[in-house]
Chain A
Amino acid sequence: MALTQQDIDQEIAAERAAYRQRVDGGAPVEHHPRRDYAPYRSSVLRHPEQPPVTIDVAQDPELVELSSPAFGERDITEIDNDLTRHHRGEPIGERITVSGRLLNRAGQPVRGQLIEIWQANSAGRYAHRREQHDAPLDPNFTGVGRTLTDDDGSYRFTTVQPGPYPWRNHVNAWRPAHIHFSFFGTAFTQRLVTQMYFPNDPLFPYDPILQSVTDDAARQRLVATYDHSLSVPEFSLGYRWDIVLDGPDATWIEEGR
């Protein structure tokens, strides 16, 4: 029988209660989702059942994972961070500017690192062959961008506000509007793929992917802030979103290379 939103809501509530009980019992705050978050059905057969094997990076500074692939100006062109300029015409939708800083756990800027984004168009459709949602494609919008962080760890993208879309996890499943982000840091262990959401979206409580981050404060860190100082006169509305990369302590001292 097809799962309804109500079924998923109950599972989400149960996961939240279980998390609260763990924390009340002294367990640490969970900054990342669990891989076995059942309300997100695709995770069921794709999460390892064995616990991960822990590697103490302080034991060997030569570990491959303590360095990162290098990216530079050759990996981007100057309009890669303006998704509204990748075709001859103007994309449909509300233009937005998204900007922020990439930091490590010590609050230091992560410089010269590649940030990639991808997203649906303003109607909620991806430029992907297997995407079946029958919203219109926009011939002037593909939805792919990349940039490098500057000396301050800052990045900036110009794009259009993506639309929400249905996704068949259960009956009436709708994803809140979001932009996918991919980050590299100074160590491969800092690698992060995540999603940025827009403030005050009414779909937040119904989305098992967003709710997979069961800690309220951690989940809030995925939501950008409207920032009028980033809005461009006569052009776009501005959103600020800072990102903090995780990773073992031993990678911090490599900062500033």
Chain B
Amino acid sequence: MTKIDAGSPESVLPTPSHTVGPFYGYALPFPGGGEIAPVGHPDTITLQGHVRDGEGNPLPDAFLELWGPDPDGTLPQVDGSMRRDPATGGHLGRNGVQFTGWGRVQTDADGHWYARTLRPGARGHSAPYLSVCVFARGLLVHLFTRIYLPDDASALASDPLLARLDEQRRGTLIAAAEGNGTYRFDIRLQGEGETVFLEFR
């Protein structure tokens, strides 16, 4: 079964998802994973929050991936998010100038995460947003959600996804402005204030 017969459509079935487990921390996260914005870029924003479980306890073993467009709404096709040092094989970091649009951050011992990226521009019918993928020990399939920014009320009002949600659920997808280009976005996996999670068909 694990040699897929690509010529036979009925055999091209998806590989199941599995949990990332507790011990990915030495493998997947990398230094500067959340420093997505080019150094000194004026449209830089800071995102931060906690990831919490059904009892409201923070998760110290979750990680998030963020993916979003530049301020013009263009999705970059630039590699080098995890640029390597050919001498040591270690992590060299982004080159500090190019915007790759993608970042990976893990929660710390307090369940807190932060990232700095560029303010996303609008694309298609949607209000500007960043796509988020949540992984954690105990999550057998990752979770997709979105971070919308609160600044443009009319754009949010016409967003096709947000328009389908009641006010309370809608609020879980909109970050809270904290001043100085900093926004708070908490993720609740279960229970009161459970974040809206998405599936794509």
Contacts and interface: CB of A to CB of B under 8 A. Distances in A.
A75 B82 contact: yes
B21 A70 contact: no
B4 interface: yes
Interface string A58-89: 01111111011111111111011000001000
> How large, as a class, is the contact surface on chain B?
35 or more
Contacts of B189: 45-48
Interface residues of A, number: 96
A115 interface: no
A224 interface: yes
A84 B77 CA distance: 32
B190 A45 contact: yes
Given A33-B18, A100-B2, A64 B80 contact: no
Contact of A64 (B27, B131, B143): B131
A75 B20 CA distance: 21
A193 B142 contact: yes
Nearest to A127: B26
A120 B21 CA distance: 12
B124 A221 contact: no
Nearest to B55: A45
Contacts of A37: 140
Find the residue from A67, A103, A241 having the highest chain B CB count within 10 A. Answer: A67
A150 to B, nearest CB: 15
B144 A65 contact: yes
Interface string A96-111: 0000110101111000
Contact of B199 (A54, A76, A213, A218): A54
Contacts of B3: 100, 225, 227, 240, 242
B83 A42 contact: no
Given A61-B124, A191-B133, A248-B200, A40 B141 contact: no
A244 interface: yes
A180 B18 CA distance: 9
A54 to B, nearest CB: 5
Given A43-B139, A191-B133, A192-B17, A70 B28 contact: no
Contacts of A59: 125, 160
A59 B169 CA distance: 22
A40 B80 contact: no
> What 9 pairs between A and B have smallest CB-CB spacing?
A62-B124, A42-B138, A72-B79, A69-B102, A118-B27, A107-B6, A45-B54, A246-B14, A46-B138
